[in-house]
Amino acid sequence: MSDPREASPFQPGVRVAIDRGIYGYEEGIVEKVYKTGRFVLKGSTQQWRPFQPGYNSHWCAEETGPRGWHSYLARVWDAEADQEIAEKKAAAERRRRLFVVKQAVNNLRPESVSEELVASLEVALARTEAK
């Protein structure tokens, strides 16, 4: 039987990205790898279990023990992870901006709305519906 530590990319000193859901990403460094392939990050005692979710997909790791409401995933922080994290951050910022715009439009008083504003909103909505 092969050593599970050999196949896993989670080796001591490797930089990992921890997906904390709505809280964004956190950086960690692998400190120690156990015989089972599990590892701990610097400054923590929490063990992580590495796995490869599917054929030709990137390796991930999940926290061991009771998960409760949160199940965070870690992956090796490489160029592909950098790109994915940047895309997710941009999408989250777009959602935040959309929420702010929706709130602002919802709070508009009818007497303060000009014809130009209504026309520009209609044009913007027509563009999104056309896509």
Tokens of 36: 């089972």
For the beta carbon of residue 37, count every other beta carbon within 10 angstroms. Answer: 18
Secondary structure (3-state) at 11:
coil
Mean pLDDT of 96-118: 90
Tokens of 39: 């590892």
The residue with tokens 């039987």 is 1
Confidence of residue 11 (pLDDT cuts 50, 70, 90): very high
For 66, how many CA atoms within 13 A lie in the half-sphere containing its CB? 2
pLDDT at 4: 57
Secondary structure (3-state) at 70:
coil
pTM, two decimal places? 0.69
